Amino acid sequence: MFKITVKNGENISHVSANKGDNLYRLLAKHELIDNAPCGGKGTCGKCRVKITHNCPDVDDVEDKFFTDTEIDTGIRLACRINIEHDLSVEVISAFKHFGGIKILSEKAPTSDINFALDIGTTTLDGILIDAVTGTRLIRMTRMNPQKKYGADVFTRLNFSLESDEKRNTLKEIIVSDINLMLTSMLKRLDCDLDSVKKIAVSANTTMIHMLLGREVSKLAFAPFVTDFLAPPDMPAKEIGIICEKATLMISAA
Ligand code: FES
């Protein structure tokens, strides 16, 4: 039997674990961690904890989610840890701390780069890919900045419906964050904005409307049917993205 000390905000709890117990399931059973969307499959990255005593080595799945600094400071995915020792664990609010840059390849990129971006209601997850070699170069995740105008889709839809100005605010803050992601990652690769040729965005219908500043009343009220799903390809600069040469391709997820 092992002793697991869990710090969650100001609260300290002690729970017992058997050898091989999964840390995420243990914390969830004791209601010490929020339910994560993937339910412990290691795909959502939301079960972040900081291991402050007996921190295990990072595995391949965790390595994809975290920066080197995060790994060095003991940040891990609870669902990837099967308990083999006493542990001290700090539960991190994944939704508060989600974010970071991760270099995925040391290969020097060509001057032909594509950007793949998933816009979720909660998070933005983007990867730059070398269009010539297919190499995944660098990944950056951030909270969706629209969260401050509503944690869920309906609150955000209602905010958007209040005025044209508010609808534009939702568009401007997401475009601004996309530009920040692009400039941050390209700077790390020592590449310029003109090297980005294609930007492929995947998002749900509401997020697409908000990215483009489209009117959302059909999405906000029953029967929730829209006559617009995604636009044809367009120059990215048309919506304010700062890559002059990039084509924006949007698909509904
Ligand atoms: S629960 Fe989703 S990654 Fe751990």
Whether the predicted pLDDT of 97 surpasses 60: no
Distance 199 CA to ligand 1 centre (A): 27
Distance 107 CA to ligand 1 centre (A): 29
Which residues' Cβ are closer than 6 Å to ligand 1?
Answer: 24, 36, 38, 40, 42-47, 77, 79
Tens of pLDDT, residues 227-238: 788 889 999 999
**Strand 196-203 relative to strand 113-119: parallel, antiparallel, unpaired?**
parallel
**What number does the ligand 1 atom closest to the CA of 61 have?**
3
Distance 41 CA to ligand 1 centre (A): 6
Q: Which residue has the tokens 């291991």?
A: 51
Closest CA to 246 of 129, 140, 138: 129
Whether the predicted pLDDT of 98 surpasses 60: no
Q: Percentage of the chain with pLDDT > 90?
A: 62
Distance 48 CA to ligand 1 centre (A): 8
**What number does the ligand 1 atom closest to the CA of 43 have?**
3
Query: Which residue is closest in CA terms to ligand 1's atom 3?
Result: 42
CB 203 within 8 A of CB 248: no
First-residue to last-residue Cα distance in the chain: 45
Across residues 21-41, what is the average pLDDT?
A: 85
The band of 93, judged by pLDDT with boundaries at 50, 70 and 90, is: low
Whether the predicted pLDDT of 100 surpasses 80: no
More confident residue, 83 or 222: 83
The band of 96, judged by pLDDT with boundaries at 50, 70 and 90, is: very low
Of the ranges 21-35, 124-138, 146-160, the best mean pLDDT one = 124-138
Across residues 210-216, what is the average pLDDT?
A: 95
Query: What is the model's pLDDT at position 78?
Result: 95
Query: What is the model's pLDDT at position 103?
Result: 85
**What number does the ligand 1 atom closest to the CA of 80 have?**
4
β-sheet with 123-130: strand ranges across: 100-103, 136-143, 123-130, 113-119, 196-203, 247-252, 234-235
Distance 47 CA to ligand 1 centre (A): 5
Give the residues across from 234 on adjacent strands.
248
Query: Which residue is closest in CA terms to ligand 1's atom 1?
Result: 40
Q: Which two tokens stand for residue 144?
A: 């969706």
Whether the predicted pLDDT of 107 surpasses 70: yes
Query: What is the model's pLDDT at position 127?
Result: 96
Mean pLDDT (the chain) is: 90
Give the residues across from 247 on adjacent strands.
198, 235
**What number does the ligand 1 atom closest to the CA of 39 have?**
1
* Ligand 1 binding pocket mutation candidate from 33, 34, 35, 43 (most atoms within 8 A of CB): 43
Across residues 156-178, what is the average pLDDT?
A: 94
Q: How far apart are CA 250 and CA 217, in angstroms?
A: 21
Longest dimension (CA), the chain: 60
CB 169 within 8 A of CB 156: no
From the CB of residue 171, how many other CB atoms can be counted at a distance below 10 Å?
19
Domains and CATH numbers, the chain: 2-97 (3.10.20.30), 100-252 (3.30.420.480)
Residue 79, phi then psi, degrees to nearest 5: -70, -10
Closest CA to 23 of 53, 47, 58: 47
Which residues have C-beta within 8 Å of that of residue 64, sequence separation ≥ 6?
A: 102, 104, 139
